[in-house]
Structure 1
Amino acid sequence: MFFPRRPRTAAIILVAAALALYAFGFGVTRPNQTLETPKPRVVATKPTVRTIVEWDRYTGRFSAVESVQVRARVSGYLTDIHFADGQLVKEGDRLFTIDRRPFELAVSAADAERRVAESAVALARQELSRAQSLRKIGVAEEVYEQRMAALRQAEARLAATGAALDRAKLDLEFTNVRAPIAGRIDAHSVSVGNLVSGGDSNATLLTNIVSLDPIRVTFDVDQEAYLRYIRGGSDGGRPSLRDTPNSVRIALSGDADFTRSGELDFVSNQIDRDSATIRLRAIVDNKDLSLVPGLFARIELAGSGAHPAVMIPDEAISVDQASHVVFVVDRGTAERRTVTLGPIVEGLRVVRSGVGPDDFVVTSGSQNIRAGQAVAILDAAPAPVSKRAAADIGRLSR
């Protein structure tokens, strides 16, 4: 039997059909349609290829080229101090005075003894002359020989008194203690009025002086680096460590850059058995006298000659257990590579293997991608060559 539909039911059916058609055409994915995921966008660029010099870094300490402990050479009471503690002195400047009066008396006494000896020599010569005259008329030969011996003894006494006078004058000169070198003097250790001893190993220490310009800096190099330097000098990869001047760069505590320079002037003749290191020393200009012995510094020594290197920003590198890895984009696909790293030079990391100059290395966004994933590249400009790097290369290439 046929029953006609109510108008309300028909209206509902029509609305539902219209909604279904809308959803099918606009809002619902067809069964055979695939949803496309947008590609991750990364910043990638080719490595910077630059001719560089690799610098090895060490810790060094400054020392004076000359250092002298000023001690008294004669004993006596200190009467004057002629310098201000810590001032600069020149070689020969008078520093201390020891009471001169006993030494002046000693000089006078020695001079008197010398004059007596001169008179004795004159008398002995006269007597010998008379003996020679009498010898012609038969005077015994024995008398002549006695007079000759007396003259020789008188001359010897004269020489002894002359030496004593010279020693007395030298002791008098030593009462003025003078600077043996130029440099900066320390505080005085003995005050005026004190008795000082001199002339032997227990002589009183009065002060000390250190030279400042030039100044030395010493540092220790491990044996692996030393062997690398020696091999580099043999095959021409770097300047010879012993036969060719090697430049060093120096930075003090708080310095952002290595603004000072020096030149290697000594390499020890043996490896230290306890530390397996060898000591090197460089000479450094110190015109402003700001460097003082005992000061620590960071030292850079060229570990290689000028050579081309592939370099990337350090932020492109990540660590996977014991390996360093980077992402490279090859034909639109991310590729994960293990790299061998060198030092940082002018803000860029040297890559010894794993990345070539034509690879596109991901420098930003690598945390959002995985190996084998398609990515979209945003180019970045390579880092320029700095002026200091160019200067280093030019200096080592000469």
Structure 2
Amino acid sequence: MMTFTTSGRGAVHIFVTLLALALLSSCSGRTNPPDSGVSAQPEKAVPVKAVRAEERAIDRRVEIVGTLLAEDEVVVSSEVEGVLDRIDVDLGSFVRQGDLLAQMDQREFQLQLEQAQAALAQARVRLGLRAGDSDEIDPEETPLVRQARAAYEDAKSKYESAQKLYATGDIAEQRYIEAEKTFKAREAAYQSAVYEVRDQRAGIRRLRAQMALAQKNLADATIRAPLTGSVAVKHVSAGEYLKAGAPIVTVVKLNPLRLRADVPEPYAASIAVGRPLSFTVDALSHVTFQGRVTRLSPSVNPETRSLTVEAQIDNRALKLKPGYFARAEIVVQPGSKAVMIPGSAIVSYVGLNKVFIVEGGRATERRIKLGTRTDDWVEVVEGVRPNELVITGNPSRVRDGQLVEVP
């Protein structure tokens, strides 16, 4: 008998060789002969939903922030000095224009009016005026002037006769001088009466002005709302002694409101009066409100590089309040053309946006740049052309180059 002896390394080498031959034989055994009739499975198309990109006219907008302001805010003050008898409103009270807000003590003002009325009546009686007569009476029509004129004309007639008689020597010089003195005295008295009547007429005008002032003071003792709105601040309480000009309440007008905001300088030239805007406020975040630009600042703020604009906001429902912070979008390019696709077609990942376009029956990946959003559609600034077919149904499950089928 012959015996073979191998080392450990030789045994490993033999084992590896035998294993390789076995694998090769196995692969050869599974190879189909050319005439077996078996072929590879064809690629199956994946059904997808898709829509065509549309070219639409949209209103390009810029996002801004601002504050709601009252259309008017009035500090209602006392126009007369005195004791505040009553105040009928408080913080938050809704008032209409003309409603009673407060009342000063009227007794002193009523007495001042009665005093002025009595003084005026006395002056009219002194001038000989009856009820219904105009204050601007002709001085010649007053009793005082008529009496003085009659005496003057009598003295004038006698003086003229004395002149003639003295010229012919029929009267003494002494009588002529007396007639002349009497005439001049009556003339002066007549002129004085005319001046006195004119002075009395001026006095009547002064007394009538004093009466009107007393009437105004009495009316001013009643404080009424200058506009329709709500009381924002109550400054005083009943019983306080107020100086003229002391604030009583602050009333703000709640409809309409103003939205004041700053538009960045690059968009300033695109803003015009009448442009629509929409905005939301934190207190009513689920509601979008509308307005229109009504005022533009004549200059750009050099510190903020922005243009201040104001929009008028209809607040008839009184849902909005002055002071609310607003986030707004204002139209800067109305009717601008844009390529739009549904938002469901967009796949976003780590800051990149892409879509899948159906080309030649296969999905083609495109990176895109987005623009304005309108409802469920989004503007594609770059990456998609109008009328291209965009996959919308679960685009995140589609692979680039995958065979797809659009029902």
Q: SS of the residue aligned with 2:384?
A: coil
Provide the TM-score with structure 2 as the length reference: 0.71
What is the CA-CA distance between 1:73 and the residue it aligns to?
A: 0.3
Which stretch has the larger CA shift, 294-303 or 177-186?
294-303
CA distance in 1, matches of 2:355, 2:226: 62
Match of residue 376 from structure 1: 403
* Pairing 1:244-393 to 2, within 5 Å after superposition: 245-253=274-282, 255=284, 259-312=288-341, 313=343, 316=346, 318=348, 328=357, 330-331=359-360, 337=366, 339-361=368-390, 374-377=401-404, 379=406
Match of 2:150, as an amino acid? S
Deviating more after overlay: 166-175 vs 49-58: 49-58
Sort the Cα spacing of 1:52 and 1:81 in 2 relative to 1 into closer, same or farther, 3 A: same
Q: Distance in 1 between matches of 2:287 and 2:264?
A: 22
- The one of 267, 270, 281 equivalent to 1:225 is 267
CA distance in 2, matches of 1:160, 1:113: 10
CA RMSD of aligned residues (A): 3.8
Is 1:122 the equivalent of 2:149?
Answer: no
337-346 vs 187-196, which moves further: 337-346
1:130, 1:17 → 2: CA distance?
A: 161
Q: CA deviation at 1:70?
A: 0.5
1:91-110 equivalent positions in 2, closer than 5 A = 91-110=97-116
Post-superposition shift, 1:271?
1.8
Match of 1:167 in 2: 213
Aligned residue in 2 for 1:206? 248
Corresponding position of 1:77: 83
Q: Which residue of 2 aligns with 1:62?
A: 68
Question: For 2:236, what is the secondary structure of its paired residue?
Answer: coil
**CA offset at residue 177 of structure 1?**
0.7
Hey, what's the Cα distance between the residues in 2 that align with 1:47 and 1:296?
40
How many Å apart are 1:154 and its aligned residue? 1.1
Q: In structure 2, what is the equivalent of residue 49 of structure 1?
A: 54
Please list the CA deviations of residues 167-212 of structure 1 after superposition, one character each: whole Å capped at 9, or x if unmatched: 01110111111111111123421111111111xxxx2111111122
The match for 2:152 among 99, 114, 135 is 135
Larger Rg: 2
Question: In structure 2, what residue type is equivalent to 1:162?
Answer: R
Determine if contact 2:76/2:250 at 8 Å carries over to the other structure.
Answer: yes
Kindly state the Cα deviation for residue 39 of structure 1 after the two structures are TM-superposed.
Answer: 9.5
Q: 2:145 aligns to what SS in structure 1?
A: helix
Q: Could you list the per-position Cα deviations for residues 325-362 of structure 1 after superposition, in whole angstroms to 9, with x for gaps in the alignment? A: 65656446775655443122213321123211344556
1:69, CA displacement in angstroms? 0.8
- Report how many residues are paired: 341
Q: State how far apart, in whole Å, the 2-side matches of 1:213 and 1:262 are.
A: 13
Contact 2:364 2:401 in 1 (8 A): no
Offset of residue 52 of structure 1:
4.3
Aligned partners of 1:184 and 1:212 also within 8 Å: yes
Alignment partner of 2:373: what SS?
strand
Query: What SS does the aligned partner of 1:304 have?
Result: strand
Asked if the contact 1:59/1:219 (under 8 Å) is kept, the reply is yes
Deviation (angstroms), 1:109? 1.9
Find the residue that maps to 2:210 and give its secondary structure.
Answer: helix
CA distance 1:317–1:264, shift in 2 (3 Å): same
Paired letter, 2:376: G
Q: Which is worse superposed, 299-308 or 216-225? A: 299-308
The answer to whether the Cα contact below 8 Å between 1:249 and 1:300 also exists between their aligned partners in 2 is yes
SS at match of 1:149: helix
Q: Does the CA contact (< 8 Å) of 2:278 and 2:289 recur in 1? A: yes
> Displacement of 1:307 after TM fit?
4.8
CA distance in 2, matches of 1:288, 1:183: 13
Name 2:172's counterpart in structure 1: none
TM (normalized to structure 1)?
0.72
User: What's the CA shift for 1:225?
Assistant: 1.6
Q: Identify the range of structure 1 (300-309 vs 127-136) with the bigger mean alpha-carbon deviation.
A: 300-309
**1:276–1:18: structure 2 CA closer, same or farther, 3 Å change rule?**
closer
Aligned: 1:155 with 2:201 = yes
Q: State the Cα distance separating 1:282 from its structure 2 match.
A: 2.2
Instruction: List per-residue Cα deviations over 1:72-114 (Å, max 9, x = no partner).
Output: 0001111111234322111111111111111112112222222
Partner of residue 8, structure 1? none
Corresponding residue of 1:24: 28
Give me the whole-angstrom Cα distance separating, in 2, the residues matched to 1:99 and 1:194: 11
Structure 1 296/379 Cα, relative in aligned 2: closer, same or farther at 3 Å?
farther
CA distance, structure 1, for counterparts of residue 398 and residue 381 of structure 2: 26
Counterpart of 1:316, as a letter, is I
Amino acid paired to 1:207: V
Shift of 1:258: 5.3
Cα pair 1:121 1:158 within 8 Å, conserved: no
Gap change, CA 1:188 and 1:365, over 3 Å in 2:
closer
Cα distance in 1 for residues equivalent to 2:234 and 2:90: 9
1:121 shift after superposition: 2.5
* 8 Å contact kept, 1:248–1:299: yes
User: Where does residue 168 of structure 2 map in the other structure?
Assistant: none
8 Å Cα contact 1:267/1:279 also seen in 2: yes
Instruction: Give identity over the alignment, percent.
Output: 24
Letter matched to residue 148 of structure 2: A
CA 1:172–1:211: 2 relative to 1, 3 Å: same
